[in-house]
């Protein structure tokens, strides 16, 4: 689960992971084209991993 409120500043950072992922997707399209587009899932998974690391750990429920 990704807490969007906790990482909002990171999402809109021009040098942040969201914009780097956009650049990566452009590279995937350039090198793989629309056929195959195998890089898309790898980029999305990498972005999700980076964003999950940006969010603070949830407090344990009592």
Chain centroid to CA 36: how far? 20
Which of 51, 1, 57, 60 has the alpha carbon at shortest distance from 21?
51
pLDDT, tens digit (0-9, with 9 covering 90-100), for 11-60: 788 888 778 878 887 877 787 776 656 667 777 788 778 777 776 666 66
Position 4 pLDDT exceeds 60: yes
Model pLDDT, residue 10: 77
């Amino acid at each position: 689960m990704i807490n969007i409120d906790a990482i909002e500043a990171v999402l809109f950072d021009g040098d942040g992971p969201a914009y780097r992922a956009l650049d990566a997707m452009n590279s995937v399209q350039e090198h793989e084209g629309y056929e195959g587009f195998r890089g898309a899932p790898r980029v999305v998974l990498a972005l999700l991993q980076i964003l999950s690391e940006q969010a603070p750990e949830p407090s344990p429920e009592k």
